[in-house]
């Protein structure tokens, strides 16, 4: 099936792309939404502009849609982007990286239904610990580009998801109910290498922005 992937550049959308290819689907395009609203309910915002470099490394065209990020306007912008992808790339369906968010998944399901597209959520309800272990096993190199919950601090920014990280996040889950895969928006990620990339991305600049007591964002420049 010819598919378009809703793509933020974080671990979930990149892994959903990887799984789709494993199942024999053709990835015709990536669809990225640039939201001005950093608190967006629908889209992960950090590092989203770097998705163009990821797309180029995957040799897949990327369709960019900008949105002001007002709650329901975001959906209109998302619908427009998916419609454009359907017309331009003749996709039959859309893939998302949704794991637990019924809010996100049901809205995308409605848009796909309205546009006559098949909706795939290959990570839906996936066990979060197994998922992180799969990412490491499948040679995904992922860094944290944002942390937004207690007890995270600046030291977590830029860290790689590896075995040590998984052990520590499991402890935080037990102690502070932090979702292991960051599904509660506790942390956000950016994929710098994975089997889909023709070459690893090179992080050349880093700037950490403090947004609150336990809230930090990383601005990276990649080449």
Partner 1 sequence: MILIVSLCKEKMHELEFVRPIEKIVSSTGNEVVVCGYDKIKNSDLKNASGVILSGTSLDDFEYLENAKNFLWLKNFKKPVLGICAGMQAIGLVFSGRLVDDKYIGLSEINFKETFLGLNGKNKVYFLHNKSIMLPEGFAQFDNGNFPMAFKHKTKKIYGVLFHPEVYNHELLKEFVKTSQKT
What is the residue whose two structure tokens read 């912008």?
77
- Residue 41 binds partner 1, judged by CB under 8 A: no
- Residue 20 binds partner 1, judged by CB under 8 A: yes
Is 111 or 178 the residue whose CB approaches partner 1 more closely? 111
What tokens appear for 153 in the block? Answer: 């601090």
Is 126 or 141 the residue whose CB approaches partner 1 more closely? 126
Is 52 or 126 the residue whose CB approaches partner 1 more closely? 126
Contacts to partner 1 from residues 104-133, by CB under 8 A:
106, 109-110, 112-113, 116, 118-127
What is the secondary structure of 134-165 as a DSSP string?
A: HHHHTT-EEEEEEEESTT--GGGTT-B-SHHH
* Residue span binding partner 1 (CB under 8 A) among the ranges 4-12, 102-110, 190-198, 200-208: 102-110
Residues in the chain: 223
Distance CA 6, CA 122 (A): 12
**Cα 57 to Cα 6, 62, 135, distances in angstroms:** 17, 11, 19
- Residue 19 binds partner 1, judged by CB under 8 A: yes
Paired with 191 in beta bridges are: 142
How near is the Cβ of 17 to partner 1 at its closest, in Å?
12
- Give all strands (DSSP E) within 36-87, no chain letters: 62-67
Residue from 23, 73, 138, 164 in contact with partner 1 (CB under 8 A) = 23
Is 23 or 176 the residue whose CB approaches partner 1 more closely? 23
Distance CA 44, CA 87 (A): 25
Residue from 25, 50, 86, 217 in contact with partner 1 (CB under 8 A) = 25
Which residues contact partner 1 by CB under 8 A?
Answer: 1, 19-20, 23, 25, 102, 106, 109-110, 112-113, 116, 118-127
């Amino acid at each position: 099936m010819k598919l378009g992937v809703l793509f933020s550049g974080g671990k979930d959308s990149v892994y959903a792309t990887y799984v789709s290819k494993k199942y024999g689907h053709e990835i015709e395009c990536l669809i990225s939404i640039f939201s001005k609203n950093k608190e967006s309910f629908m889209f992960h915002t950090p590092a989203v502009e770097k998705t163009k470099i990821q797309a180029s490394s995957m040799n897949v065209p990327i369709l960019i849609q900008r949105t002001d990020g007002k709650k329901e306007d975001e959906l209109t912008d998302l619908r427009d982007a998916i419609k454009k992808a359907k017309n331009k790339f003749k996709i039959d369906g859309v893939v998302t990286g949704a794991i637990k968010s019924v809010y996100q998944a049901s809205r995308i399901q409605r848009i796909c239904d309205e546009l006559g597209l098949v909706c795939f959520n290959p990570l839906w309800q996936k066990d979060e610990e197994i998922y992180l272990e799969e990412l490491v096993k499948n040679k995904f190199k992922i860094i944290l580009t944002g942390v937004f919950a207690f007890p995270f601090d600046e030291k977590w920014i830029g860290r790689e998801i590896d075995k040590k990280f998984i052990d520590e996040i499991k402890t935080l889950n037990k102690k502070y109910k932090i979702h292991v895969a960051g599904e509660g928006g506790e942390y956000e990620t950016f994929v710098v290498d994975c089997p889909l990339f023709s070459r690893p991305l090179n992080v050349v600049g880093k700037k950490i922005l403090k947004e609150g007591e336990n809230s930090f964002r990383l601005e990276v420049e990649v080449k």
